[in-house]
Structure 1
Amino acid sequence: MPPPFEPLTLVHVVFSSRIAGGELHCIDLANAQAALGHRVHVIGTAGSAVAGALSPAVRFHGLKLPLMRGWRVAALARKLGADVCHGHLGPACKAVAQARSASRIGTLHVGYKPHHHALMDGLVCVNRAQHDGLPRDRAGLASLIYNWAPERNAQVVAMRTDLRVELGLTPDQLLVGSVGRLQRAKGMDLLVAAFKAHAPANAVLAILGEGPDRAMLEDMAAGDPRVRLLGFRSDVDQALKSFDLFVSASREEAFPLAILEAMRAGRPVLSTATQGPREMLAGQPARLVGVGDADLLGRAMAEELARLRRLEASERRVSYATAAYDRSNAVARTLGFYRDVMLHRAAGAERFEDEEEAIAA
């Protein structure tokens, strides 16, 4: 095993073609590790948007077909001399499980699933409930390391997006916003229903993101010009600054980066009380409501908008405690966890060899 400060060969695996929260975390972690001098590779799907977001110091390996991905990941990790193979999201972790030549790490961006994560040598949990809920009989190590909100690149930040101007809003109109993939887990259908039923007539809802539920959401929004589906945006940080209220209507969330980005932008936050937000927003100046109830969400939204309307625009900014989500600290702790897993794995191999020798004797 390399000495404590010798550069490692690290292989990240993520199979998504689009960039959402888990993919963004993988990209930023790989870029940060490469900037520290480690040899970093990312294995993904050929043509994935992930490749274009990686720094020049990170090498991307695109797999053209999904066939035998586990075997191919294992072979490539072995060829690259990987010290660590780190999977992001379930299918990637399932493939990483076959890379036995390296220490196998998985990040629980969603949650623990035995068929994806049981064979990992180490698991990174993104909230305390995940960590405390892991099976007691797991052989591998686990560590609680919070995600962070990656900084956007300088070119995007320089765009200085003003979403209110883009949408043609007047000063008296309040803008409700949400960011996320358009799929059932994110609850965008609940958000649209809640907004249409309870938001004031001059409020506007902007949803940033793409996904399989777009057509359904367009049907739900039909006839209501207040609901705007803006698709994928690379200027999320800038767009968030235009929101008067950020809403997460998710049915399940382990660690929503969009909420952390809204906190960084100083936006008031209303969220369903899923696993991640319950921990992230505990003791913070934010509001939680029950999961899966569009009427309850809508009433809470109306109350928050009424409260915000009584404030001047400059008074709507919120300050959050975000020290726990520091990027540098999280990257350092992740590298430290890699070392712990490598040591634990090496010790296990030595014990196995000692037992084999004892049996042979």
Structure 2
Amino acid sequence: MSFPRILLYGTIILFGAMGSFALIKRLKGSREAIEQAAEISQDEKERELLKQVAALPKTPVASFTEIKIAPPAPLEPVEEEDFPACNRMQQLFSTGPHKLPIVETITYTSNVPWLKGRPAWLADYSNYYNTSCHFIARSLNKKLDYLSQKVFPGSKFNVFSKDKKIQFYLLLDLSRRKMGLYYIDLDTNERVLLKTYLVGAGKLDEKRLSGSLTPLGKFSLANKIAVYKPGDIGFFQEKRVEMIQVFGTRWIPFKEELEGTTGRAKGFGIHGAPWLKDKETEGYLENRDCIGKYDSGGCIRLLQEDVEELASIVMTKPAVIEIVRNFRTARLPGVEKGEPQHK
């Protein structure tokens, strides 16, 4: 290739490069100008928004540090009206003339129209009348004996009336450590207080809404009630223990949470006072001193005669417990009937 032609091509390439460089510089300047314009536009929007906010009327707002939630008041002895006292157990178990309307007296016979092919035993009466054998035994034996079931033709005992639809309702006042047992007649919507028990409750804990390790609220009671005697071994808190030393002779567990509960049902229940080993005799002594005190891990404690009585009643019927700090705040079902008609 001749020198003049080479010079021509070089000149063309040089001018082309210079033109491209100028074009790139111009485009870059345009982009920077656009970005700068956008930033200015955004700044103007923000300034305008700040002006609008500043023009709004001033409304005082409480800061979080000004909001204080008072802790629940500690459970202390109350001086106002006490929990109603009552004991109608005689009218429930007695076969005499002044029975409560929810029971009827049966005269035992082995030949009954509702069972064919074999004689009827006490357990058959229990199933037919939906009344626990423990309840029948107490009425039959006419004393606090829930296990002996020696029955003869002509023996008399009480059962729950088949034509009565009832449920039981327990109301526990934590401040007073007292618990009322009611029956509710579901047909008439009447409520009758049967007995008031002195109880032991969970240890005091001011951090809890109840003021105690015992939770507040309504719980249903399970009908699978455990009966313990000396020598019965089980597990408690993952340790093998003699159950009577923890639960006494009966364990009535909570079944499920119903309303306004501050704790779960699992692990809570009603049981007897613990039995302690007597080092001298190697026998057992019931720790009756724990009743009326805040001394448990959250469960409700009763004396042996009280927990065995209660278990015999609620074992075969639906039952609910409502736990409150003060019985006056309770939401009891039904209409109170102070003096039920005798049957």
Return the TM-score normalized by structure 1: 0.23
Greater per-residue helix proportion: 1
Which is greater in Rg?
2
More strand by share: 2
